Amino acid sequence: MYYPFEKAVASPGATKMLAVSFAEQINSTRTVVLNGELGSGKTFFVKQTCNAWGIRNVSSPSFAIVNNYRNSKPVYHFDFYRIKNISELFDIGFNDYLNDNEAVIFIEWGNLVPEV
C-alpha cells in the first residue's frame, strides 16, 4: 500500500514534536492513517495533535470505532483494530465522515482494512 508520507519516530518526545509540527501545517481536509504495533503511540500522536488545536478530551476509539472532536475544525478519530468486516464501517456512516470537507480524519490500524 502506498502512503504519500511516512515517518517513524522512536520516543514520546519525538512523537509530540511531530504531532505539534503536523498540527501547525494542516489547514484543510486530510486523512491520516496511523499504523504501528500495540503501544507504539498512535493514540498519543492524535492526542498531541488535537492538544495543539485546543482539543483536550481525546481518548482511544478502540471500542467505539470512532470518536468525534471539535474546536476550530471537526476531527474524526477512527480505530480499525476491532473491525471484522468492512460493512461495520459503512453501518456507522463512514462515507459521511469521509465527505466532511472541513474535517481531519485519523485512522488507527488502517492497514487492517486496506480496501478502505
Least confident residue range of 5-9, 20-24, 99-103: 5-9
Between 10 and 107, the higher pLDDT residue? 107
* pLDDT given for residue 2 in this prediction: 58
Q: 60-109, pLDDT tens digit by residue?
A: 998 889 999 998 889 999 999 999 899 999 999 999 999 998 899 999 99
Name the DSSP class of 111.
G
Q: Tell me which of 17-31, 54-68, 101-115 is least confident.
A: 17-31
Rg (CA), the chain: 13
The predicted pLDDT at position 69 comes to: 95
* Cβ proximity of 75 and 1 under 8 Å: no
Higher pLDDT, 27 or 63: 63
What is the reported pLDDT for 75? 95
| pLDDT computed for residue 106 by the predictor | 95
C-alpha cell at 81: 483494530
Q: State the sign of the Cα–Cα–Cα–Cα dihedral 14, 55, 98, 66.
A: positive
76 burial class (0-12, 13-18, 19+ CB within 10 angstroms)? buried
- As a whole number of angstroms, the distance between CA 42 and CA 45 comes to 5
Instruction: With a cut of 60, say whether residue 1 has pLDDT above it.
Output: no
Model pLDDT, residue 4: 67
Distance between CA 54 and CA 52 in Å, rounded?
A: 6
Task: Sketch out the chain's domains with CATH numbers.
Answer: 23-112 (3.40.50.300)
Pairwise pLDDT comparison (79 vs 29), residue with the higher score: 79
